[in-house]
């Protein structure tokens, strides 16, 4: 019985995990958070370019392939106010892209709310 309880708890916790493991970059300090060391060794993330478009925050994050093979990836921006709380409009879908071998691509997005003062971008391997 104890074995079944442990198994059920493990399955429950596994079901609660998300599939967002990959690379995350925070705008406030430009720290790169690595959730997938394999992906992190194949992709380099450069310092973001931040701007303003009609009063809305715009971010561009250059990523460079460190390998010669093409990679199918996805990215998603999350937007936060000055206090670090997620703002409305952060529910954009994952965007798919192909990063060709040894190529650089800038991932860009514009916040949907003027309250957005910070962002976080997640990059993960695509399953398509």
pTM: 0.76
The single-letter DSSP state of residue 94 is P
Q: Domain 20-125: which CATH class?
A: mainly beta
Structure tokens at 58: 């715009």
**pLDDT at site 115:** 95
Tens-level pLDDT at each residue, the chain (128 residues) = 433 333 333 333 333 334 456 877 777 776 566 678 899 999 999 888 999 999 999 999 999 999 999 999 999 999 999 999 999 877 889 999 999 999 999 999 999 999 999 998 889 999 87
Query: How do the domains of the chain map onto residue ranges?
Result: 20-125
CA–CA separation, 28 and 47 (whole Å): 12
């Amino acid at each position: 019985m104890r074995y079944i309880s442990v198994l059920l708890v493990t399955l429950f916790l596994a079901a609660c995990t998300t599939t967002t493991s990959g690379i995350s970059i925070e705008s406030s300090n430009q720290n790169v958070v690595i959730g997938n060391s394999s992906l992190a060794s194949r992709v380099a993330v450069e310092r973001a370019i931040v701007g303003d478009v009609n009063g809305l925050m715009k971010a561009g994050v250059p990523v460079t392939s460190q390998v010669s093979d093409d990679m199918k990836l996805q990215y998603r921006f999350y937007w936060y106010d000055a206090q670090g709380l997620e703002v409305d409009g952060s529910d954009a879908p994952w965007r798919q892209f192909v990063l060709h071998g040894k190529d650089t691509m800038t991932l860009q997005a514009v916040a949907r709310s003027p309250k957005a003062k910070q962002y976080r971008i997640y990059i993960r391997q695509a399953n398509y």
